[in-house]
């Protein structure tokens, strides 16, 4: 199977979306062919060259104001009609991550992507909303405080490989919420002191 990952992060490298894509690729195994494209600066011509023969597209992105980042939204709007004409057989899965603790904070953004699929005439597979996205660098996904996120990626990987999809679902770190908040507050305070 040929799988295209669209990285919708506005960061060039080191983003939570990038870490999550790596975690999912590891779970999908070596029997598939993969291509990862960053949306930032992506040319539509290059996109349509890469999407030839792709069975599944996985869109990974950070939550911005409870929605899809503007550069990703603009890109999807630009390619919608051409996807409808050229790739009606395409199946889309999505992974939205956020800095909130709760994964279900991503529900509206996943719904937006589902509506894009309907407008583009392509199949919606499934969405995964991940909370605590800032912790993705804390440990390898699937271990320690990210064990539950690894389990969620295992489920998504199985559904991608089977081509079945399913209901959107959500995950957050298996780490106490009050400690997550303390860590977040101390990080913000450090940044504020730098700016003072």
Give pLDDT, residue 102: 94
What is residue 23's DSSP assignment? Answer: H
pTM, rounded to two decimals: 0.92
Could you give the number of structural domains in the chain?
1
Pairwise CA distance, residues 28 & 7, whole Å: 17
Pairwise CA distance, residues 182 & 16, whole Å: 20
**pLDDT digit string (tens) for the chain, length 196 residues:** 999 999 999 997 889 999 999 999 999 999 999 999 999 999 999 999 999 999 999 999 999 999 999 999 999 999 999 999 998 899 999 999 999 999 999 999 999 999 999 999 999 999 999 999 878 777 888 888 899 999 999 999 999 999 998 999 999 998 878 777 777 767 667 777 888 7
Q: Provide the CATH number for the domain around residue 43.
A: 3.40.50.360
Pairwise CA distance, residues 117 & 112, whole Å: 9
Q: By CB neighbour count within 10 A (0-12 exposed, 13-18 middle, 19+ buried), where does 109 fall? A: buried
Pairwise CA distance, residues 31 & 182, whole Å: 42
Domain region containing 179: 2-195
Pairwise CA distance, residues 35 & 42, whole Å: 13
Concatenated DSSP letters of 119-165: HHT-EEEEEEEES-GGGGGTS-TTSGGGHHHHHHHHHHHHHHHHT--
Token pair belonging to 97 = 């991550």
Query: Which of 159, 168, 40, 154 minimizes the C-alpha distance to 113?
Result: 168
Give pLDDT, residue 139: 80
Residue 5 CB partners (closer than 8 Å, separation 6+): 21, 24, 25, 34, 35, 36, 37, 57, 58, 59, 60
> Do 168 and 110 contact (CB within 8 A), yes or no?
yes
Give pLDDT, residue 188: 66
């Amino acid at each position: 199977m040929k799988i295209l990952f669209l990285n919708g992060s506005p960061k060039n490298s080191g983003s939570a979306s990038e870490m999550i894509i790596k975690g999912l690729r590891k779970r999908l195994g070596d029997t598939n062919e993969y291509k990862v494209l960053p949306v930032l600066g992506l040319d539509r011509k290059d996109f349509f060259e890469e999407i030839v023969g792709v069975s599944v597209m996985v869109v990974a992105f950070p939550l911005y104001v409870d929605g899809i980042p503007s550069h990703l939204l603009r890109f999807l709007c630009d390619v919608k009609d051409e996807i409808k004409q050229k790739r009606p057989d395409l199946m889309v899965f999505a992974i939205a991550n956020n800095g909130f603790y709760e994964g279900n904070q991503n529900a509206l953004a996943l719904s937006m992507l589902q509506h894009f699929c309907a407008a583009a005439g392509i199949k919606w597979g499934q969405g995964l909303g991940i909370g605590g996205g800032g912790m993705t660098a804390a440990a390898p996904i699937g271990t320690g405080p990210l064990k539950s996120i690894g389990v969620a990626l295992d489920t998504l990987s199985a559904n991608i490989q089977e081509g079945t999809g399913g209901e959107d679902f959500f995950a957050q770190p298996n780490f106490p919420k009050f400690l997550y908040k303390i860590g977040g507050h101390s990080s913000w305070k450090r940044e504020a002191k730098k700016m003072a």
